[in-house]
Each structure stands twice: as structure tokens, then as C-alpha cells.
Structure 1
Amino acid sequence: MNKPLAEFIGTFTLVLFGCGSAVIAGGDIGLYGISFAFGLALIGMAYGIGHISGCHINPAVSLGAVAAGRMTISEAIVYIVSQIAGAIAAAAVLLMIASGKADYTVAANGLGQNGWGAGYLGEYSMGAAFVFELVATFLFVTVILGSTGAGAPVGFAGLAIGLTLVVIHLVGINVTGVSVNPARSIGPALFAGGAAIGQLWLFILAPILGALISGFLFRTGMLDIKN
């Protein structure tokens, strides 16, 4: 149970501190602070649980690893269940904390849920949201598979992956709030309800497609240093 537990804790940490930075401290730290909160949470978990489970903490990453031939689908399913459970638990804890402020409501203040369209951050279109999530996840998973593969510098994967997540957030927060991680989207959406649930499909489908494309390129040797 150590690997599923590590994935649960890692995803819990990412969602609690990443989404929490937006919900609790967003007005103080802004887009830059939120971006670094997500990236630093990932860096911390990469070095904290990476040696246990690989620190996927993201269903798209696990499916990308399956596509790359580095993980079986049965192993990925166990990871994904743990990741989604960790995200839901983190969203529940974040809601309890945020609700301790008298003027907080999920309807008015949100829970760090992803979205697009009228009334959501930069009000980008569904098409723009889909393209961003697919391409950003493809690049994110490419960094993950490349920095953890044979021939990559030892000990720097966590830093490279975390900083990539920072850059992705710097560019994409106003587009979708940045998912690149179906579990990260599922947790807050379940409690936010409404549009967050209705739009959740995009934040499941686009990241998975992006991850599968990256994994396929590694599996076929197109991005494999050995070939």
C-alpha cells in the first residue's frame, strides 16, 4: 500500500496548497504566487515521495507512463484511484478551512476549480481551453518522461518538472486556471458544482490526450535517446 498512499498524499498536497494559494491567498500573492505554489508543491513531493511511487500525482502522467511502456494499466488504475481520492480529500479540507472566513462562499469565491468562457478569469473560448490543456499536458508529460528516463541527469527531475509546472501556470491561469491534471480538476469541481461539473469533461479528456501523445512518442523511440 505504500505506493497508492504516497500518490494519495502527493496529490492531496498539490491540490491543497495549489488551489489553496488561489482561494486563501490569491489576493495577496497574485498569478505569480499561485503559479509558484503549484510548482513548489510538486517539487517538494517529487523529492518526498518520488523514490516511493515516482510521484505521478496526476492521472494523465500515469496514463502517459502506460503509453510509454513504463507502467501497466492495472498499476495505473490503482494510482489513478489514489490520486482522485487525494484530490477530493484536499478539496474537502480546503473547503473547511476557507469556510472559516465569515464572508466566504463557494459560489462567490470558488474552490480553485478550472473553467473557461464568460465569467471565468480571462473568458477564453472552449476551443482555446482545449488546445491549451492538450498542448500544455503534452509538454509537461514530455518533461516528466524525459527527465526521469535513461540518460537524464540524476537528481534534477523534480526541479525540472516543478519549474515546468510553474511556467505552465504563468501562461495558462487566465485561460483555464490550469489543470493538466484530471484529479486536480475533479476534486474542487465536486464541491464547486454548477459550471465546474459541466466543464469537467474537458479537463479530463484534453490532459489525457496530451499525455498519451507524449507517451506514444517515447514508446516508439521518437523521443528516446537510445534511438
Structure 2
Amino acid sequence: MNDLCSRFLEVLDCEVDTFWSFSCYMEKFSRDFRADGLHRKIELEAALLKELDPPLYAHLVKDNMERFTFCHRWLLLGFQREFEHSEALRLFEILSCDHLELISQQVDRARYQERVAQKFSTEDGSESELQAINTDFTFELFICAAILLEHRESLLQCPDDVQLLQYTNGLQGTLDLNSILKKAEHHFYNYCKRCAWDYTNGRCRPDRSKHEDFFYHLRSLFVLK
């Protein structure tokens, strides 16, 4: 927590403002500092990587590498030691603002699911089974995945978790933030695009109300002009 608090102090240059800002931050992210919270993040990272790159995921979950130990520090400290100091500070600001967060769609998702329960059902009258977009995939998970995918060939050469940890530890201070951000946004965009198209093309009835269909509007964001 000292590593996180120091960022607020550096930017705000005021102990009082730092205290209250850090307190608000910890109220929001306190679960991440508990064992169950970090374990949940690791599970989500593994699930996201499985969607983005199944072969790499399959390699990492064998030979005792499924614990994703190398991701613990990344996710707990917001990649503070993986980038140069100024870039790590910029990334922390990006991750803290919730600009690229699926969680920001939570209200729309809840409303959409209510409409799904009411309108979309199978012919026998039972509700159709729809796989909802996973709003637990926060943008920091896409950052983590972008790092892994950028180094996938080297990771595939690691035979066990010891060498994997040694390799990922060697990445400290060597990563280029602009490149990682670009790739993370690309994966984020494609994930949203795929989910939107799955819902509107293959899952929903053709007589749905487009003006009320959240995922119809989401898909429209990705239609080429």
C-alpha cells in the first residue's frame, strides 16, 4: 500500500489531500488486498487469456503454472515496477479513471438482462440461455493480457513456473507503455465487438426492439462506416 500511496503524494504534494484520496481509493479497491480478492483477479485473468489466446493459456495452466504467480505483483501494484516511473504513474491514472472499464456498463447490462428475461425465450417457453458480457474483465486485466501476448513466444518456451517467474521478473522497467496500451485497447475493443455481434446476430430474435436492445447499440459502435 505504500507504493500506491506514494503516487498520490507525488501528484498532490499535500499530505491531507493524499490521505483522503488514498482512503477513497482503498475503500473502492480494498478487496484486492485480501487473499480472496487477488485470487478472483487471477481467475479472471486466466479466463480472459483463455478467450484471447487458447494455446498460450493451455501452456500456462500445465506443469504447475496455472497459479499465474507472475501476475500477482502486476495486478496488486498496478504495474508500478513493470514500466518506467513516469509511465507507471500515467498508467495508474488511466486505470483509476474507469474510462475503459466494462464495469461502467453494469447498469445497462442489468436493464438488458431484465429485457432478455421478458422478451427472448425459446420456442417451448423457457428462457434462452445467453452468455452475458463479463463486466468483471477490468481494463487492467487487458493490460496484463497484452503484456503476456506481446511476449507469448518466450513464454511458450518456459517449461515450468520457476523459469516463467524469472522471465517475467526480467521485464521490470523494460515495457513500453504506449505499445502495451495500444494492444490492450485493441483486445478490449475486439472483446466488446465479439460479444455485441454474438448477441445481435446469433442469439436474439429478429423481431426484437432495436431501440431497447443494449447490445444492438453496442454493436453499432463497431460497424464499419
TM-score range, shorter chain: under 0.3
Q: TM-score, normalised by structure 1?
A: 0.25
Greater percentage in helix: 1
Structure possessing the higher radius of gyration over alpha carbons: 2
Q: TM-score, normalised by structure 2?
A: 0.25
- Higher RCO by CA contacts (8 Å cutoff, separation 6 or greater): 1
